[in-house]
A and B are shown apart, each in its own frame.
Chain A
Amino acid sequence: QKEVEQDPGPLSVPEGAIVSLNCTYSNSAFQYFMWYRQYSRKGPELLMYTYSSGNKEDGRFTAQVDKSSKYISLFIRDSQPSDSATYLCAMSAGRGSTLGRLYFGRGTQLTVWP
């Protein structure tokens, strides 16, 4: 069993829909939880990060972490065609500056159609 599980999709939604992406994990030591976005033929870029449990909102994006269930989510409101990409969850057991290696989910491919 991989340490981070993520449904690869693909997920296809109409413009304006609310998108829900999620990951589960098995390592209780994970402290930082990240969402990366990867466009085709590009490197991943950080979208949001959360430390420990809780919610974090940034514009149309909301990240949620439930450490008791080992479950994290990313919600995208009012989705746009430009949101079409692969979304990868990532986690780290490091503390702050010693973030160290990241453990990635396989990524969920999202398409938002006009």
Chain B
Amino acid sequence: DSGVTQTPKHLITATGQRVTLRCSPRSGDLSVYWYQQSLDQGLQFLIQYYNGEERAKGNILERFSAQQFPDLHSELNLSSLELGDSALYFCASSVVGGRDFTEAFFGQGTRLTVV
């Protein structure tokens, strides 16, 4: 168990709908990352938050948005869903600070199926 909790584990929804994925980072981790894993693209970085503020943005669609709350949990909102959004969505967290290497710990993912 990595200590990163993602809910729900599975989600099936129709095209055009909106869903919210939730992530609770490991205790003490200030940084949260969201990744999308699909068969054809592999793991793709979406966005990073650090202590409530957006730190880096990757290949995240405009239909997607995220935020990190004061208690450090994060939510990824996906709207106007398309069939191609079906994928595994992973959240990872890490301690950011100091000089040494900091490992990113991944949750078990949310499997999103858009039908």
- List residues of chain A with CB under 8 Å of any chain B CB: 32, 41-46, 49, 51, 88, 90, 96-107
Extra 8 A-B pairs, beta carbons < 8 Å, given A43-B90, A43-B108, A99-B102:
A43-B2, A44-B106, A49-B101, A96-B102, A99-B96, A99-B104, A101-B48, A107-B42
- Asked if B106 and A51 sit within 8 Å, CB to CB, the answer is no
Q: What distance in Å separates the Cβ of B91 from its nearest Cβ neighbour in chain A?
A: 9
For the complex, what is the distance from the CA of A93 to the CA of B5, rounded to whole Å?
27
- Asked if A101 and B58 sit within 8 Å, CB to CB, the answer is yes
For the complex, what is the distance from the CA of A105 to the CA of B43, rounded to whole Å?
8
In the assembled complex, 11 residue pairs joining A and B whose CB atoms fall closer than 8 Å, in A order, are: A32-B101, A42-B109, A44-B106, A45-B106, A46-B105, A97-B95, A97-B98, A97-B102, A101-B58, A102-B43, A106-B42
From known contacts A99-B94, A104-B43, infer whether A51 and B48 are also in contact, taking CB-CB under 8 Å. no
Which residue on A lies nearest to B45, using beta carbons?
A: A101
For the complex, what is the distance from the CA of A101 to the CA of B42, rounded to whole Å?
15
Set of chain A residues within 8 Å of B106, measured between Cβ atoms: 43-45
- Asked if B96 and A97 sit within 8 Å, CB to CB, the answer is yes
- Asked if B104 and A46 sit within 8 Å, CB to CB, the answer is yes
- Asked if B4 and A43 sit within 8 Å, CB to CB, the answer is yes
Q: What distance in Å separates the Cβ of B115 from its nearest Cβ neighbour in chain A?
A: 20
State the 8 A-B residue pairs at the shortest beta-carbon distance, nearest first. A43-B106, A106-B42, A104-B43, A101-B45, A97-B98, A96-B99, A44-B106, A43-B108
